[in-house]
Amino acid sequence: MKSGLSNSILDAIGDTPMLEIDGVYCKLEYLNPSGSVKARIAKYMIERAEDEGLLKHGDTIVEATSGNTGNALSMVAAVKGYRMLVVMPEGMSGERVAISRAFGAEVMEIGHFHVDEALAKAKELGNEPGYFCPSQFESEWNVEENRTWLGPEILDQLPEGVVPDALVMGVGTGGTLVGVGQAFREVNPDVRLFAMEPSESSTILCGEVGEHLIEGIADGFVPGIFQRHQKLVNDTLAVDSEEAVGEMRRLAKHHGLFVGPSSGANLIAARKVRESHPEIVHVVTLFCDEGEKYIQDHFAARDEVKLTAENYT
Protein backbone atom coordinates (compact mmCIF):
# COMPACT_ATOMS: atom_id res chain seq x y z
CA MET A 1 0.00 0.00 0.00
CA LYS A 2 2.93 2.32 0.70
CA SER A 3 3.57 2.81 -3.01
CA GLY A 4 0.13 2.31 -4.49
CA LEU A 5 -3.59 2.48 -4.13
CA SER A 6 -5.59 -0.05 -2.10
CA ASN A 7 -9.20 -0.60 -1.12
CA SER A 8 -8.46 -1.85 2.41
CA ILE A 9 -6.79 -0.26 5.44
CA LEU A 10 -5.52 -3.76 6.31
CA ASP A 11 -2.98 -3.36 3.48
CA ALA A 12 -1.41 -0.49 5.47
CA ILE A 13 -0.42 -2.80 8.37
CA GLY A 14 3.33 -3.30 8.66
CA ASP A 15 6.28 -1.53 7.02
CA THR A 16 6.60 0.61 10.15
CA PRO A 17 9.71 2.79 10.66
CA MET A 18 12.58 2.00 13.01
CA LEU A 19 14.58 4.62 14.94
CA GLU A 20 17.80 4.46 16.91
CA ILE A 21 17.28 6.09 20.32
CA ASP A 22 19.90 6.00 23.10
CA GLY A 23 21.78 3.39 21.06
CA VAL A 24 18.74 1.07 20.95
CA TYR A 25 16.88 0.07 17.77
CA CYS A 26 13.23 0.93 18.37
CA LYS A 27 10.59 -0.46 16.01
CA LEU A 28 7.67 1.97 15.84
CA GLU A 29 4.78 -0.47 15.89
CA TYR A 30 2.43 2.16 17.33
CA LEU A 31 2.15 3.57 13.81
CA ASN A 32 0.10 0.59 12.61
CA PRO A 33 -3.62 1.12 11.82
CA SER A 34 -5.61 0.81 15.08
CA GLY A 35 -2.54 2.13 16.89
CA SER A 36 -0.55 -0.91 17.95
CA VAL A 37 1.63 -3.90 17.15
CA LYS A 38 -1.52 -6.03 17.51
CA ALA A 39 -2.80 -5.06 14.06
CA ARG A 40 -0.44 -7.68 12.67
CA ILE A 41 -1.67 -10.67 14.70
CA ALA A 42 -5.28 -9.58 14.28
CA LYS A 43 -5.05 -9.64 10.48
CA TYR A 44 -2.89 -12.76 10.46
CA MET A 45 -5.00 -14.86 12.86
CA ILE A 46 -8.29 -13.90 11.20
CA GLU A 47 -7.01 -14.71 7.72
CA ARG A 48 -5.59 -18.03 8.92
CA ALA A 49 -8.95 -18.88 10.49
CA GLU A 50 -10.73 -18.01 7.22
CA ASP A 51 -8.29 -20.18 5.26
CA GLU A 52 -8.84 -23.09 7.66
CA GLY A 53 -12.63 -22.73 7.46
CA LEU A 54 -12.90 -21.91 11.20
CA LEU A 55 -14.46 -18.49 10.52
CA LYS A 56 -17.16 -17.79 7.96
CA HIS A 57 -19.52 -15.05 6.88
CA GLY A 58 -22.09 -14.27 9.62
CA ASP A 59 -19.87 -15.48 12.49
CA THR A 60 -18.91 -13.48 15.57
CA ILE A 61 -15.29 -13.06 16.62
CA VAL A 62 -14.86 -13.07 20.40
CA GLU A 63 -11.55 -12.35 22.15
CA ALA A 64 -10.26 -11.57 25.63
CA THR A 65 -7.85 -8.64 25.62
CA SER A 66 -6.51 -5.83 27.73
CA GLY A 67 -7.42 -3.62 24.79
CA ASN A 68 -5.00 -3.40 21.88
CA THR A 69 -5.83 -6.78 20.36
CA GLY A 70 -9.50 -5.89 20.84
CA ASN A 71 -9.00 -2.62 18.96
CA ALA A 72 -7.10 -4.38 16.18
CA LEU A 73 -9.58 -7.25 15.81
CA SER A 74 -12.45 -4.74 15.83
CA MET A 75 -10.82 -2.94 12.90
CA VAL A 76 -10.31 -6.22 11.01
CA ALA A 77 -13.91 -7.28 11.75
CA ALA A 78 -15.20 -3.91 10.50
CA VAL A 79 -13.32 -4.28 7.21
CA LYS A 80 -14.34 -7.92 6.70
CA GLY A 81 -17.92 -7.62 7.93
CA TYR A 82 -17.85 -9.88 11.02
CA ARG A 83 -19.57 -9.19 14.33
CA MET A 84 -17.02 -8.54 17.06
CA LEU A 85 -17.29 -9.03 20.81
CA VAL A 86 -14.39 -7.70 22.84
CA VAL A 87 -14.18 -9.11 26.39
CA MET A 88 -11.95 -7.05 28.63
CA PRO A 89 -11.39 -6.31 32.31
CA GLU A 90 -12.61 -3.10 33.91
CA GLY A 91 -9.86 -0.63 34.72
CA MET A 92 -8.28 -0.42 31.26
CA SER A 93 -8.03 3.01 29.62
CA GLY A 94 -11.40 4.39 28.50
CA GLU A 95 -9.98 5.13 25.06
CA ARG A 96 -9.49 1.40 24.40
CA VAL A 97 -13.17 0.71 25.02
CA ALA A 98 -14.17 3.72 22.90
CA ILE A 99 -11.94 2.71 19.97
CA SER A 100 -13.39 -0.81 19.75
CA ARG A 101 -16.91 0.66 19.93
CA ALA A 102 -16.01 3.15 17.19
CA PHE A 103 -15.18 0.18 14.96
CA GLY A 104 -18.67 -1.17 15.65
CA ALA A 105 -17.69 -3.85 18.17
CA GLU A 106 -19.58 -4.75 21.33
CA VAL A 107 -17.48 -4.53 24.49
CA MET A 108 -18.16 -6.71 27.54
CA GLU A 109 -16.26 -5.62 30.68
CA ILE A 110 -15.69 -8.42 33.15
CA GLY A 111 -13.30 -8.81 36.09
CA HIS A 112 -10.98 -6.06 37.29
CA PHE A 113 -7.61 -5.11 35.81
CA HIS A 114 -6.38 -8.66 35.08
CA VAL A 115 -7.56 -10.60 32.03
CA ASP A 116 -8.22 -14.06 33.56
CA GLU A 117 -12.01 -13.71 33.98
CA ALA A 118 -12.36 -12.21 30.50
CA LEU A 119 -10.34 -15.11 29.18
CA ALA A 120 -12.67 -17.71 30.70
CA LYS A 121 -15.72 -15.91 29.27
CA ALA A 122 -14.25 -15.58 25.76
CA LYS A 123 -13.26 -19.25 25.79
CA GLU A 124 -16.75 -20.30 26.85
CA LEU A 125 -18.41 -18.22 24.10
CA GLY A 126 -15.80 -19.31 21.56
CA ASN A 127 -17.04 -22.89 21.93
CA GLU A 128 -20.59 -21.89 20.93
CA PRO A 129 -21.67 -22.38 17.30
CA GLY A 130 -21.21 -19.21 15.19
CA TYR A 131 -18.36 -17.89 17.34
CA PHE A 132 -14.63 -17.90 16.69
CA CYS A 133 -12.09 -17.10 19.42
CA PRO A 134 -8.54 -16.41 18.11
CA SER A 135 -7.07 -17.12 21.62
CA GLN A 136 -4.08 -14.79 21.35
CA PHE A 137 -2.57 -15.98 24.65
CA GLU A 138 -2.44 -19.59 23.43
CA SER A 139 -2.33 -19.57 19.64
CA GLU A 140 0.79 -20.59 17.70
CA TRP A 141 -0.51 -18.33 14.89
CA ASN A 142 0.44 -15.40 17.12
CA VAL A 143 4.02 -16.70 17.32
CA GLU A 144 4.02 -17.60 13.61
CA GLU A 145 3.07 -14.06 12.55
CA ASN A 146 5.89 -12.56 14.61
CA ARG A 147 8.41 -15.11 13.29
CA THR A 148 7.46 -14.73 9.63
CA TRP A 149 6.40 -11.06 9.32
CA LEU A 150 7.47 -8.66 12.09
CA GLY A 151 10.79 -10.39 12.87
CA PRO A 152 12.11 -10.50 9.27
CA GLU A 153 10.92 -6.90 8.72
CA ILE A 154 13.06 -5.71 11.66
CA LEU A 155 16.08 -7.69 10.44
CA ASP A 156 15.75 -6.05 6.99
CA GLN A 157 15.80 -2.57 8.57
CA LEU A 158 18.96 -3.03 10.63
CA PRO A 159 22.06 -1.36 9.19
CA GLU A 160 24.05 -3.42 6.69
CA GLY A 161 26.01 -6.17 8.44
CA VAL A 162 24.33 -5.72 11.84
CA VAL A 163 22.68 -8.70 13.54
CA PRO A 164 20.84 -8.24 16.84
CA ASP A 165 22.64 -9.23 20.06
CA ALA A 166 19.48 -8.89 22.16
CA LEU A 167 15.72 -8.42 22.02
CA VAL A 168 14.05 -6.77 25.00
CA MET A 169 10.26 -6.86 25.22
CA GLY A 170 7.43 -6.70 27.75
CA VAL A 171 5.30 -9.83 27.87
CA GLY A 172 1.56 -9.73 27.28
CA THR A 173 0.93 -12.93 25.35
CA GLY A 174 4.67 -13.42 24.82
CA GLY A 175 4.01 -13.74 21.07
CA THR A 176 6.21 -10.81 20.08
CA LEU A 177 9.18 -11.80 22.26
CA VAL A 178 9.06 -15.45 21.25
CA GLY A 179 8.20 -15.06 17.54
CA VAL A 180 10.53 -12.13 16.77
CA GLY A 181 13.13 -13.90 18.94
CA GLN A 182 12.85 -17.04 16.78
CA ALA A 183 13.42 -14.93 13.64
CA PHE A 184 16.48 -13.32 15.26
CA ARG A 185 17.88 -16.74 16.28
CA GLU A 186 17.96 -17.71 12.61
CA VAL A 187 20.56 -14.97 11.91
CA ASN A 188 22.28 -15.05 15.32
CA PRO A 189 21.88 -18.30 17.31
CA ASP A 190 23.37 -16.52 20.36
CA VAL A 191 20.89 -13.62 20.43
CA ARG A 192 19.70 -13.02 24.01
CA LEU A 193 15.98 -12.67 24.70
CA PHE A 194 14.96 -10.55 27.69
CA ALA A 195 11.39 -10.59 29.04
CA MET A 196 10.43 -7.34 30.75
CA GLU A 197 7.71 -7.14 33.41
CA PRO A 198 6.54 -4.42 35.81
CA SER A 199 8.23 -4.57 39.22
CA GLU A 200 4.74 -4.31 40.81
CA SER A 201 3.62 -7.52 39.07
CA SER A 202 6.61 -9.80 38.72
CA THR A 203 4.66 -12.89 37.65
CA ILE A 204 7.23 -14.71 35.51
CA LEU A 205 10.09 -14.24 37.95
CA CYS A 206 8.35 -14.35 41.36
CA GLY A 207 4.79 -15.54 40.74
CA GLU A 208 3.50 -12.21 42.06
CA VAL A 209 0.43 -10.50 40.64
CA GLY A 210 -0.20 -6.83 41.31
CA GLU A 211 -1.70 -3.71 39.75
CA HIS A 212 0.61 -1.59 37.63
CA LEU A 213 0.54 1.16 35.00
CA ILE A 214 1.99 -0.68 32.01
CA GLU A 215 -1.24 -1.71 30.23
CA GLY A 216 -0.84 -4.51 27.71
CA ILE A 217 1.76 -6.52 29.62
CA ALA A 218 1.67 -8.60 32.82
CA ASP A 219 -2.01 -9.48 32.55
CA GLY A 220 -2.02 -11.50 35.79
CA PHE A 221 -0.83 -14.94 34.66
CA VAL A 222 1.96 -16.56 32.64
CA PRO A 223 0.39 -17.11 29.21
CA GLY A 224 0.43 -20.47 27.41
CA ILE A 225 2.71 -19.18 24.63
CA PHE A 226 5.31 -18.05 27.14
CA GLN A 227 5.11 -21.31 29.08
CA ARG A 228 5.56 -23.41 25.93
CA HIS A 229 8.53 -21.38 24.68
CA GLN A 230 10.09 -20.34 27.99
CA LYS A 231 13.33 -22.21 27.19
CA LEU A 232 14.07 -19.69 24.42
CA VAL A 233 14.06 -16.79 26.87
CA ASN A 234 17.40 -16.02 28.56
CA ASP A 235 16.47 -13.55 31.27
CA THR A 236 13.74 -11.48 32.91
CA LEU A 237 14.02 -7.90 34.13
CA ALA A 238 11.65 -5.57 35.94
CA VAL A 239 10.77 -1.92 35.34
CA ASP A 240 8.91 0.28 37.79
CA SER A 241 5.53 1.54 36.47
CA GLU A 242 6.06 5.19 37.46
CA GLU A 243 9.43 5.22 35.75
CA ALA A 244 7.84 3.78 32.61
CA VAL A 245 5.25 6.56 32.58
CA GLY A 246 8.00 9.17 33.06
CA GLU A 247 9.95 7.71 30.16
CA MET A 248 6.79 7.70 28.03
CA ARG A 249 6.42 11.46 28.68
CA ARG A 250 10.09 12.03 27.83
CA LEU A 251 9.68 10.20 24.52
CA ALA A 252 6.85 12.57 23.57
CA LYS A 253 8.57 15.76 24.78
CA HIS A 254 12.09 15.07 23.56
CA HIS A 255 11.65 12.77 20.58
CA GLY A 256 8.17 13.61 19.27
CA LEU A 257 7.04 10.02 19.85
CA PHE A 258 3.51 9.87 21.28
CA VAL A 259 3.55 6.33 22.67
CA GLY A 260 2.16 4.40 25.65
CA PRO A 261 3.80 3.28 28.93
CA SER A 262 4.98 -0.11 27.63
CA SER A 263 7.16 1.70 25.07
CA GLY A 264 8.78 3.71 27.88
CA ALA A 265 9.27 0.53 29.91
CA ASN A 266 10.77 -1.33 26.93
CA LEU A 267 13.30 1.45 26.31
CA ILE A 268 14.31 1.64 29.99
CA ALA A 269 14.80 -2.15 30.02
CA ALA A 270 16.75 -2.10 26.74
CA ARG A 271 19.10 0.58 28.08
CA LYS A 272 19.62 -1.46 31.27
CA VAL A 273 20.54 -4.51 29.20
CA ARG A 274 23.14 -2.51 27.23
CA GLU A 275 24.57 -0.95 30.38
CA SER A 276 24.88 -4.20 32.34
CA HIS A 277 26.18 -6.42 29.49
CA PRO A 278 29.20 -4.85 27.74
CA GLU A 279 29.23 -7.68 25.19
CA ILE A 280 25.70 -6.74 24.05
CA VAL A 281 25.83 -3.89 21.52
CA HIS A 282 22.92 -4.19 19.13
CA VAL A 283 19.66 -4.20 21.10
CA VAL A 284 16.18 -4.19 19.58
CA THR A 285 12.95 -3.21 21.29
CA LEU A 286 9.46 -2.16 20.23
CA PHE A 287 7.22 0.83 20.79
CA CYS A 288 3.97 -1.08 20.91
CA ASP A 289 1.09 1.39 21.15
CA GLU A 290 0.15 5.01 20.70
CA GLY A 291 -0.18 7.69 23.39
CA GLU A 292 -3.68 8.59 22.20
CA LYS A 293 -4.91 5.53 24.12
CA TYR A 294 -3.76 7.10 27.41
CA ILE A 295 -4.80 10.73 27.09
CA GLN A 296 -7.29 10.61 29.95
CA ASP A 297 -5.06 8.54 32.27
CA HIS A 298 -1.69 10.17 31.67
CA PHE A 299 -1.75 13.18 29.40
CA ALA A 300 -4.87 15.23 30.12
CA ALA A 301 -3.59 18.36 31.85
CA ARG A 302 -6.69 18.95 33.95
CA ASP A 303 -4.85 20.64 36.83
CA GLU A 304 -2.77 23.03 34.79
CA VAL A 305 -3.69 26.71 34.69
CA LYS A 306 -5.34 27.56 31.39
CA LEU A 307 -3.15 29.81 29.30
CA THR A 308 -4.91 32.90 27.99
CA ALA A 309 -3.73 36.08 26.30
CA GLU A 310 -4.03 37.77 29.71
CA ASN A 311 -1.90 35.40 31.84
CA TYR A 312 0.79 34.65 29.19
CA THR A 313 4.15 36.03 30.25
The catalytic site residues sit at 38, 262
Tell me the closest approach of the beta carbon of residue 41 to ligand PMP, in angstroms.
Answer: 8
Please report whether residue 115 would count as binding ligand PMP according to CB under 6 A.
no
- Of 126 and 181, nearer to ligand PMP (C-beta) is 181
Nearest CA to 269 out of 235, 297, 293, 299 is that of 235
Residues of span 56-75 touching ligand PMP by CB under 6 A: 66, 68
Among the candidate windows 173-181, 249-257, 269-277, 302-310, which touches ligand PMP by CB under 6 A?
173-181
Tell me the closest approach of the beta carbon of residue 20 to ligand PMP, in angstroms.
Answer: 20
User: Total residues contacting ligand PMP (rule CB under 6 A)?
Assistant: 18
Among 35, 151, 172, 181, binds ligand PMP (CB under 6 A): 172
Tell me the closest approach of the beta carbon of residue 64 to ligand PMP, in angstroms.
Answer: 11
Q: Which pairs count as long-range contacts for 97-102, CB under 8 Å and 24+ apart, including other chains?
A: 97/67, 99/34, 99/35, 99/71, 99/74, 99/293, 100/67, 100/70, 100/71, 100/74
The sign of the CA dihedral 225, 121, 289, 297 is negative
Q: Pattern 174-213, binding to ligand PMP, x per CB under 6 A?
A: xxxx------------------------------------
Among 39, 119, 122, 217, binds ligand PMP (CB under 6 A): 217
Among the candidate windows 76-84, 101-109, 166-174, 186-194, which touches ligand PMP by CB under 6 A?
166-174
Q: Are the C-beta atoms of residues 294 and 35 closer than 8 Å to each other?
A: no
Indicate the Cα dihedral angle 117, 67, 109, 136, nearest 10°: -40
Please report whether residue 170 would count as binding ligand PMP according to CB under 6 A.
yes
Please report whether residue 33 would count as binding ligand PMP according to CB under 6 A.
no
The length of the chain is 313
Question: Angle at Cα 262 formed by Cα 39 and Cα 69, nearest 5°?
Answer: 25
- Of 66 and 304, nearer to ligand PMP (C-beta) is 66
Report the DSSP beta bridge partners of residue 83.
60
CA dist 13 and 91 (Å) reads 28
Element (H, E) at 20: strand 18-21
Residues of span 230-289 touching ligand PMP by CB under 6 A: 260, 262, 288-289
Report the DSSP beta bridge partners of residue 25.
20, 284
Name the residues that contact ligand PMP, by CB under 6 A: 36, 38, 66, 68, 170-177, 216-217, 260, 262, 288-289
